[in-house]
Amino acid sequence: MDLLLINLFSNILDTILILYYLVIALSKKDIDLKKTAVLVTLLVIFNTIINTGFGSVNFIGFLIILTVSTIVYSYILNEPIANLIIHSLSAAILMGVIEMVSITFICLVFNVIPSTLLEVNIYRILAIVLAKTILFLTIKYLLRKIKIPRFINFRFNISVVLIFLFNLFMLFMAYNVYKYLKNQTIVEYLNFIGLALGTIFYNWLIYKITKESIYRNQQEIIWKMKEEEFYKKNFYINNMKDILQTIRAQRHELNNYLSILYGLICLEDFDKVKEYISKINDRLSGMN
């Protein structure tokens, strides 16, 4: 019963913090709070059942929770699942790294082995509270300053998703090894923290490469659009030149018409004026 309550407590914080991460990352503002409350409650219950059934550190259980959670978040935020999955994975990686660091800190401060934190005790509760607090502060103060690109290419999305899933798998493997450590040496803890920091650096490097790739693709698209616009402008300018040349060529003929009409009006030969106007009209109609 105590394990179920701790899992429920942890899942409430995880679900809300991941949703908060997605809201900040995607700059969402208009959210239906009633719908969100109902769906988050159902999601917390589902995640707690999966965690209790599969165990806290189980990669298959995590994949089930990730899939269902992403679908629910997609419905809450009105965002396509394809655009949301990468952000969900990045949030999970950030959460995993912070939890590893928090566990290491608790083990060092209270001189307990990592496997102790898998049991129902005050150390596990402290590790949960510490990890979620750090995650909340990271989202609130750091994530807002990072402009996360939106990935629109399907193949590129798949590549990033696979890389993130590999990162998460490595985090799960590292934690499974770490929780059975018996020797509480600083070197072992530093190695574990180094793995976590290495994961952060690796994902940061992927983010920078991805950002640069997207920027270059955008610049290439903009350049092609400008090139097409340049050709269109040249086409219109050339057409305008042709029209102006035609108008200039017809200007002398128009002057002749006006001169003849003026002479006929001065002679008051209005019958010939009417006849001449009819001839001009016929010529213009033939040209059109």
Confidence of residue 44 (pLDDT cuts 50, 70, 90): very high
pLDDT of residue 13: 93
HEC profile of the chain: CHHHHHHHHHHHHHHHHHHHHHHHHCCCCCCCHHHHHHHHHHHHHHHHHHHHHHCCCCHHHHHHHHHHHHHHHHHHHCCCHHHHHHHHHHHHHHHHHHHHHHHHHHHHHHCCCHHHHHCCCHHHHHHHHHHHHHHHHHHHHCHHHCCCCCCCCHHHHHHHHHHHHHHHHHHHHHHHHHCCCCCCCHHHHHHHHHHHHHHHHHHHHHHHHHHHHHHHHHHHHHHHHHHHHHHHHHHHHHHHHHHHHHHHHHHHHHHHHHHHHHHHHHCCCHHHHHHHHHHHHHHHHHHC
Do 40 and 66 fall into the same domain? yes
Which residue range forms the structural domain that includes residue 207? 2-217
Percentage of residues in the chain with pLDDT exceeding 70? 62
Do 279 and 137 fall into the same domain? no
Q: What is the pLDDT of residues 92-103, one digit of tens each?
A: 888 888 888 888
pLDDT of residue 69: 93
Do 205 and 235 fall into the same domain? no
Give the pTM: 0.64
Do 250 and 108 fall into the same domain? no
Do 273 and 207 fall into the same domain? no
Do 198 and 251 fall into the same domain? no
Average pLDDT over residues 59-82: 89
Q: What is the pLDDT of residues 132-167, one digit of tens each?
A: 999 999 988 888 776 665 555 556 666 667 777 777
pLDDT of 179 strictly over 70: no
Residue predicted with more confidence, 178 or 166: 166
